[in-house]
Structure 1
Amino acid sequence: MTSTPHRIIIDCDPGHDDMAAILLAASHPAIQLEAITTVCGNASLDNTTNNALRIVDAFALDVPVYRGTVQPLLHRYDFPAEFHGPSGLDSSGADLPQTSRKPGNKHAVQAIIDLVDANPGQITLVVIGPMTNLALVFALRPDLAGKIKQLVFMGGSTGEGNVTPAAEFNIWADAEAARMVFRSGVKLVMFGLNATHQTLLRRQDIAAVRAAHPGTNAVADIMDFYCQTYYRFAGADKPGAPMHDPCAIAYLIDPSLFTIEQLPGEVIVADTETYGQTLIDLRPQDPAHDTRNKNVGVAIKADAEGFARLVTQGLIWGAGRISTQS
C-alpha cells in the first residue's frame, strides 16, 4: 500500500464498471482524484458526460468533470447499447438521480494538459475508455509523455478479444488513438482482458452491498444490471462478472494484487480482422541479447479474492454515501 496518495485523472466513458472504478478511487485514502474527463465509447459523449456528472452529484464528490472528444479519430461504430443499456449506465431497479450539474468550461484535452503542466511528475492518468483524449494530448504536447507519472489503462488483451476475436472494445473503439499512446513514450501499465477476466464481482459481493445498506440501493441495482447482462451473454453458470475498469484503480491502491511484466506492445490499425488488436510480445528472450522496446507493463495475473474485497468495499462506501445524500 502507498503512504502518499496517487494524484489521478480518470479518463472514462461511464459505464457500470467505470462507476465502480470512480467509487473505488473516491473511497480510498491511497487515491486523490483530481478530475474526471469523458470520452465517447460505451455510449455517446452526451451520455457518458451526463453519467459522469450524475455520479459526481449522486455521491457528492468534490471533483470537476471535463467533457472530451465526441468521436474517435477515424473509427466509426454503433455504441454498444445492448451491454450497458441506452444510457450507458442502466439499472435493474433504482437509478442515480438526474443532475443539473454542468461540466467544466475547459475541453478535457486542455484540462489534462493544464493539470500535468502544473504538476510535472505527479499526475497519474487512469484511462478506462477509448484513448482519443490522450492521443490528442500527445499530438498537441508530445513533451507531456515525460511529465506524466504513469498512464494506467484498461484495454487490450494478450490473447482473445471481446468485440472481435482479436480486439478488446476500448482499444478497438479508437485503435489509431491507442497506437499513438503506445508509441508516445509515456510509462504504460495495461490491464487487458487476460487479467480482468480473473477479477469478478460475484453474486455474494452484490449481496454484501445490499446487506450493508438495506432498502433502496442504486449501487447494487446498477451493478446487478451489469452482471445480469454479462450472464445473458456468457452463461448463467458464471460465478461473477468481470470488473474490468476498477483493476486500474486497484493496482494503484495495492500493486501486490497483480503480477506485472514489462513487455513490447503495439496496436494493430490495419483494416482487417485484426483491427484494434494489442500485439503483446510474450516470447521469452535471453536478457543479455534482448534489445526489444519493452514499452508496456502488462498485468498477467490477479489476486481475485483480494480484488473482490477491495471493490466491494468501494461499492459499499458508495451505497452508503448516496443514501446519505437522498
Structure 2
Amino acid sequence: MSFSPVPVWLDCDPGHDDAFAIALAVKSLELKVLGVSIIHGNDTVAHCALNAKRFMWACGIQGVSVFPGVSRPLVRDAKYCPEIHGVHGKDGVAGMCGFNFPDEEIFADQTNLPSVQNGVLKMVEIVSTYPEKVTIVATGAQTNLAMAIRLFPTVKDNISKIVFMGGAIGLGNTGVAAEFNMEIDPEAAHVVFHSGIPLVMVPLEVTHSVLVTPEVLATIARIDAFSPSSFEEKTCNIGQDLGKRLQIECDEIYKRIKDINNKELTDGEESNLKIPECSSNFAKCCVELLTFFRSTYKNVFSFDSPPLHDPCAVFYCINPQSFKTVNVFLDVELSGEKCTGRTLCDLHGLSKKEPNATVCYSLDVDKFWEKMFSCLKISNEKSPLNKK
C-alpha cells in the first residue's frame, strides 16, 4: 500500500515553541508542508517571519516559503509576549531570544528572506487549488484564518480540518481565565469556531504535560546519538482519564502558587540548571533557545520546566492515536468583563448544541518526544550550523 503524506498549511508566530513546531512538521515524512503563514502574537509579524526563516535555515530546511500575514487582531490592539520570548538585544532576536543567529550569512542569500506576498492571500490560493483537502495547523492567534474564511468563504471547501494549539478546558495562562492565543484575538477565534470547519483543539491541559525537563535538554544536547531506546520519560499514562487530567492540572497550578508564595521570583533570576555540553552547533542552538525559554517560564509562571506547546498540534496531525479526546460544543467568550478570550468547552452538553470540535485532553508524551527527537536528529544532520 502506497504512503501518502498529509498536506498541511502551518500558521504560526515564532516564538521558541513555534520554531520547533516548524521543524517537527517539515522533517516528518507523515506530513507535506505546503507553506507557512505568519501571524502577530509572540512578537510582530515582521520579527516572527524572520525568526521562522532563521530556524528553518538552522534546520537545513529549503523549499518551504514563509508568508507574513495580518499584523494585528481583527478589532483589538496588538499584544505581544516579550516576557516569555524576549526582546532584541544581547540575548538574541526579538521573539526568539537565547541564541545569536548568524544573520549576515543567513540573509545574504535572498531565498532565505520571507516572501513579500501576503500570508492570507497565499494560504487561500494554495489551499483552494491543492488537489487534496488540506489540514490547517494554527499555533498562534487565529486572525489569518478568520480573514481567509470571511473574505474567501469557498476556501472552506478544501480544508479537511483546523488543528490548533490554544485555549484551555479550565483556566488559561496569560489572562485571568484565557490562554494567550485566544486572549489576543477572541473575535478571530469566534469566526473560526463558527465556520463549520472540523476543529481539533490542543489545549493547555495537553501541552502542560510536554515539559522540557533536564533529561530532555540532555538528550537534545547529544541529539546525534539519539535512538528511541535511549530516552523514556515514563509519563505516557498521565491524564488518560479526563477527570484525572484536569485534577493533575489543578494540582500543578496549586503547587506553582505555593512556590510563588514561598519564594520571591525576580526578573532576570538566574536558572540553577546546568546547561549540558552539546555535541554540535545545532544542538547548542536548540539547547540555548530552550534554556532561555525555561528561565522566562520559571520567572513568569514558576514552572520548573517549560511546556513545549506548539509542536503538540503538529504531532496530532502525525499521530492522532496518541491523544485522548472528547467531542464538545466549543465557543469563546467575547464580551465578559473578566473572562474575554476564555474557551468554553461544553463537556456536559448543557448548551444543547451539536459538537463542533474534538478537544484533546491527554497525550502519550513518550511518543511525542520520540518523534520530536527524531526530527531534530535529521535537522542536525542537515544543519549549516555544523559546518562552522
Specify if TM > 0.5: yes
Query: Which of 292, 300, 310 is equivalent to 2:361?
Result: 300
Normalising by structure 1, we get a TM-score of: 0.91
3-state SS of 1:264 partner: strand
Query: Which of 131, 134, 143 is equivalent to 2:154?
Result: 143
Q: Which amino acid aligns with 2:80?
A: F
Q: Which amino acid aligns with 1:303?
A: D
Aligned residue in 1 for 2:96: 89
- Alpha-carbon deviation of 1:291? 5.2
- Alpha-carbon deviation of 1:309? 2.3
3-state SS of 1:263 partner: strand
Aligned residue in 2 for 1:223: 290
Counterparts of 1:46 and 1:255, CA distance in 2: 32
The structure number with the bigger radius of gyration is 2
Any conservation in 1 of the 2:182–2:189 contact (CA below 8 Å)?
yes
The answer to whether 1:73 aligns with 2:74 is yes
Q: Which amino acid aligns with 2:286?
A: V
Counterparts of 2:348 and 2:326, CA distance in 1: 12
Counterparts of 2:362 and 2:32, CA distance in 1: 26
3-state SS of 2:212 partner: strand
Aligned residue in 2 for 1:40: 40
Aligned residue in 1 for 2:272: none
Q: CA RMSD in A?
A: 2.0
Any conservation in 2 of the 1:219–1:319 contact (CA below 8 Å)?
no
3-state SS of 2:163 partner: strand
Counterparts of 1:26 and 1:121, CA distance in 2: 18
Normalising by structure 2, we get a TM-score of: 0.77
Query: Which of 148, 159, 184 is equivalent to 2:195?
Result: 184
In the alignment, structure 1 segments of 5+ residues that lack a partner are none
Aligned residue in 1 for 2:184: 173
Count of aligned pairs: 317
Aligned residue in 1 for 2:205: 194
Output one character per residue of 1:254-310: Cα deviation in whole Å (capped at 9) or x when no partner: 11211121110001110511110111101168xxxx952211110011112222222
Aligned residue in 1 for 2:167: 156
Q: Which amino acid aligns with 1:293?
A: E
Counterparts of 1:291 and 1:325, CA distance in 2: 59
Aligned residue in 2 for 1:49: 49
Change (3 A) 1:78 1:252: closer
Q: Which amino acid aligns with 2:379?
A: G
Aligned residue in 2 for 1:59: 59
- Alpha-carbon deviation of 1:9? 1.0
Q: Which amino acid aligns with 1:167?
A: A
Q: Which amino acid aligns with 1:264?
A: F
Aligned residue in 1 for 2:15: 15
Runs of 4+ in 1 over 6 A off after TM superposition: none
In the alignment, structure 2 segments of 5+ residues that lack a partner are 88-93, 225-278
Q: Which amino acid aligns with 1:82?
A: E
Any conservation in 1 of the 2:40–2:78 contact (CA below 8 Å)?
no
3-state SS of 2:10 partner: strand
